[in-house]
Chain A
Amino acid sequence: MPVRENVVIRTVSRLAVPFIQVFALYVIVHGASGAGGGFQGGVVFAASFVLMVIAFGLGSVRKRIDNRGFMICSVLGIFAYAGIGFLCLLFAGNYLEYGAIEAALGIPHLHGLLIDVVEAGIGINVMAVMTSIIYDIAEQRGKSL
């Protein structure tokens, strides 16, 4: 996208992006008990990066976090999800059966924390993949669109 010298768009984006990201984190954490969840929160987080790309151009956003960073993020998300899942297998439960870990360690309400870790993994993964798709499609033969 072309970098516009529009002070209104830039200022509004600079003000809105932190609030969008905090709302995305709220949606991810709140997902266990209400509407929302890892996928929706991840998409909202990716939308904040899209807003930054539209307002400040692809180059200046890519300087902060590039495709390599997003690749690391997506791998971390997968490992958080699958790691908790296989940890439940180690504690003689089914895949993602949080109650097995809670019963074996004897810590109350541990399953809620584990659900949050799994949701955070899903959210990180969705955010990374969505944003890297946007990066790749907004770039045209080496030069940004």
Chain B
Amino acid sequence: MIWILDFALLLFMILCAIAAITVKDLLHATIILAAYSLIMTVLWAELNAPDVAFTEATVGAGITTVLFIAAIARTRRSSSD
């Protein structure tokens, strides 16, 4: 419909996905994944799938981020770079 908005959101989503697997710090990757989930939520809502958008917003941006951060807090950094 609003293809310019769609294009910008998709571009930003792909950028987030690439950034999430290329950054060194795991905490940064988690936050970028949360941003990815937020963009995905807007896209689902724009595709007339409010149920999927709701699940993406609650699980993807809410619970998964907290789980990842809690899991990262239990690890130790082994390399120094």
Contact = CB atoms under 8 A, between A and B. Distances in A.
Interface of A: 1, 27, 34-37, 39-40, 43-44, 46-47, 50, 54, 130, 133-134, 137-138, 140, 145
Given A35-B50, A37-B51, A130-B63, A47 B58 contact: yes
Secondary structure of the A contact surface, majority rule:
helix
Contact of B62 (A37, A47, A137): A47
Nearest to A133: B67
A137 B71 contact: yes
B5 interface: no
A36 B70 contact: no
Given A133-B67, A140-B74, A40 B50 contact: no
Given A35-B51, A50-B63, A137-B67, A40 B58 contact: yes
Interface in B8-48: none
Interface of B: 50-51, 53-55, 58-59, 62-63, 66-67, 70-71, 73-74
A145 B74 contact: yes
Contacts of A34: 50
Minimum-distance CB pairs A-B, first 5:
A35-B50, A43-B58, A137-B70, A47-B62, A40-B54
